[in-house]
Chain A
């Protein structure tokens, strides 16, 4: 049985479209309005980052946004409290580092997410082998756990990762941390093609997908994209309006391409 996130993405894919999931750093000034702007401009879901003191998968832009948010007193619970009142009509996922989950306790964190209306969770420092306690709590609470597939994974590992994934499979676009790049890495499409071969779940490319053109390029082999640093940079520089305009631009680029 598919959860709310997978169902929403599948609807887009089945209609012949490509999925667009922007990332917004929770607690950064204007973050709630930015999520609304994403929803209003064609995002299929939004990934909300819960800031952590030691974000090892994140590059400078998201680190900076996380630090501003933490300095403003953001906590996991303050984000979930505000999310509860968001009624944007698209599924919401959280991206959080594992200590946020572990510290709260797997079961409590899963039920807190569910109570806030969150559909899914992405935990980038929780690999397959360590994921058991979280995924069983998440499954029980109806939270879809997105798993990451990495360019370094050997062929035998990919099916095990995709098998455990719920919502979608996060196909990591490059060797490295989040951030904008001039061109889409060759590893992005190469890995996405490998992942697409071993799963029927939606496959989205994230990390290093930096503009509309790259989103189209990645979507030629995958079911869509997650866009983080390029969205967060616009939130920092131009606020929710800039986020909305950017999401609309990417949406239009995806919709006007023949697949």
Chain B
């Protein structure tokens, strides 16, 4: 794994492209994180909260029915069983503990599907921090249950009506808030993106996924899986699980939505504080992503993914919304597990590529549960017969 230096680079990607006002805050955060990460007391407290509150370690589940149908050996890493229903809690607990250690009283967060927003609101309630979540107005409409959850947890939710009114605009608005409140507020960024140290820090908070899965797979299989598959929007759940296997021979597959394929269809660009692959038009305007899944509706990707792609270590295929809708149902019926629409992207790729992976072992990160998507799927499917 790459540990970025002072320039915050993963190869040519990453960096710290933020307004001058935020530079001291990024430097302060970097120093605080490095200090905390090396402090056994902080690590012990983090591990305890992850265990006693979030429910870690998450188990792995071998999918016997799907394995038989697909001719592969399919294993799920069950991040859907964490408290709040997704992997997002790992990072949020880490960042809120850090925010308290830094003496911050307030956090701001952006959210797409609402999972990071709910996790942030949850951790803020637990830690006694004030919390404001920015969410695109389009996402507020399609994830109204999560909006209510955040408010129930005591957070303020602001619908962002600028630009495409989705995740990228929520990030813009959270950054604007942070520029104005930087002295009292920590920006609890929800993915392996943004200015240094966020991509590195968020990966470190999520690598528990990969570290656990590495041990669990070796216990179960006596070896490493042949494929490690995860969906990629900003890319935090994928970086988390890839972390455990980047030094093994496993093929690393990050599945992007066809309408938000930053690595697959983007070019290097700079937005939200980082240099990374970015969907943009011929003039460098950031393109609007389109995905059935609010959590993957993002035109950029974390810089470490861009780096891993550029050196050929990981691959970033795409799947269509139709394939995702189908995979969502297949997994629900075959295994009794309703996946988040984000994870259904990973499942969709596995279903499509299974004929080429016969007899292989495939580890998929089931990064979240699908409860939040049931309403949306009901309107798409018109009720299941």
Q: Is the CB of A54 within 8 A of B168?
A: yes
- The listed residue with most A CB atoms (<10 A of its CB), out of B15, B175, B179, B280, is B179
Contact partners of A190 in chain B: CB under 8 A:
none
When chains A and B are docked, how far (Å) is the Cα of A52 from the Cα of B270?
12
Which of B54-62, B115-123, B124-132, B180-188 makes up part of the contact surface? B180-188
Contact partners of B269 in chain A: CB under 8 A:
99, 102-103
- The listed residue with most B CB atoms (<10 A of its CB), out of A53, A128, A129, A147, is A53
When chains A and B are docked, how far (Å) is the Cα of A236 from the Cα of B196?
37
In the complex, which of the residues B181, B182, B286 contacts A99, with contact meaning CB atoms closer than 8 Å? B286
Instruction: Indicate with 1 or 0, residue by residue over B253-294, a CB within 8 angstroms of chain A CB atoms.
Output: 000000000000001111111010010100111100000000
Q: Is A177 an interface residue (CB 8 A)?
A: yes
Q: Is B25 an interface residue (CB 8 A)?
A: yes
B1-35 residues with Cβ-Cβ distance < 8 A to A are 7, 15-25
Q: Is B216 an interface residue (CB 8 A)?
A: no
In the complex, which of the residues A53, A77, A127, A153 contacts B163, with contact meaning CB atoms closer than 8 Å? A53
Q: Given A125-B18, A129-B16, A130-B17 in contact, is the A176-B180 Cβ separation under 8 Å?
A: yes
Q: Is A37 an interface residue (CB 8 A)?
A: no
Q: Given A52-B285, A177-B180 in contact, is the A98-B20 Cβ separation under 8 Å?
A: no
Q: Given A53-B163, A54-B163, A102-B269 in contact, is the A127-B23 Cβ separation under 8 Å?
A: yes
When chains A and B are docked, how far (Å) is the Cα of A150 from the Cα of B18?
12
Q: Is B333 an interface residue (CB 8 A)?
A: no
Please give the number of chain A residues whose Cβ is less than 8 angstroms from any Cβ of chain B in the complex: 41
CB-nearest residue of chain A to B267: A103
Binding site for B on A (CB under 8 A): 52-57, 59, 63, 67, 70, 75-77, 98-100, 102-104, 124-130, 147-154, 157, 161, 172, 174-177
Chain B interface, DSSP helix/strand/loop, else mixed: mixed
Contact partners of B329 in chain A: CB under 8 A:
none
Nearest 7 A-B pairs (CB), nearest first? A103-B284, A176-B180, A150-B21, A150-B20, A53-B285, A53-B286, A148-B20
CB-nearest residue of chain A to B7: A129
Please give the number of chain B residues whose Cβ is less than 8 angstroms from any Cβ of chain A in the complex: 38
Q: Is the CB of A175 within 8 A of B179?
A: yes
13 A-B residue pairings within 8 Å (CB atoms): A53-B163, A54-B163, A57-B179, A76-B284, A99-B271, A99-B284, A102-B269, A130-B16, A150-B23, A151-B21, A152-B183, A153-B23, A157-B23
CB distance from B276 to the nearest CB of A (A): 11
When chains A and B are docked, how far (Å) is the Cα of A157 from the Cα of B275?
24
Q: Is the CB of A127 within 8 A of B16?
A: yes
Contact partners of A175 in chain B: CB under 8 A:
21, 179-183
CB distance from A121 to the nearest CB of B (A): 15
Q: Is the CB of A99 within 8 A of B180?
A: no
Q: Is the CB of A103 within 8 A of B283?
A: yes
Instruction: Indicate with 1 or 0, residue by residue over B173-210, a CB within 8 angstroms of chain A CB atoms.
Output: 00110011111000000000000000000000000000
Q: Given A127-B16, A175-B183 in contact, is the A54-B284 Cβ separation under 8 Å?
A: no
Given A53-B163, A152-B24, A176-B180: 7 more A-B contacts, CB < 8 Å: A54-B168, A54-B169, A77-B283, A102-B284, A127-B17, A129-B16, A152-B182
When chains A and B are docked, how far (Å) is the Cα of A98 from the Cα of B280?
13
Q: Is the CB of B181 within 8 A of A125?
A: no
When chains A and B are docked, how far (Å) is the Cα of A75 from the Cα of B22?
28
Contact partners of B358 in chain A: CB under 8 A:
none
- The listed residue with most B CB atoms (<10 A of its CB), out of A103, A150, A157, A175, is A103
CB-nearest residue of chain B to A126: B17
CB distance from A155 to the nearest CB of B (A): 11
Q: Is the CB of B19 within 8 A of A125?
A: yes
Q: Is B162 an interface residue (CB 8 A)?
A: yes
Contact partners of A176 in chain B: CB under 8 A:
176, 179-180
Contact partners of B278 in chain A: CB under 8 A:
99
Contact partners of B20 in chain A: CB under 8 A:
124, 127-128, 147-150, 152-153, 161, 172
In the complex, which of the residues A67, A102, A154, A174 contacts B24, with contact meaning CB atoms closer than 8 Å? A154
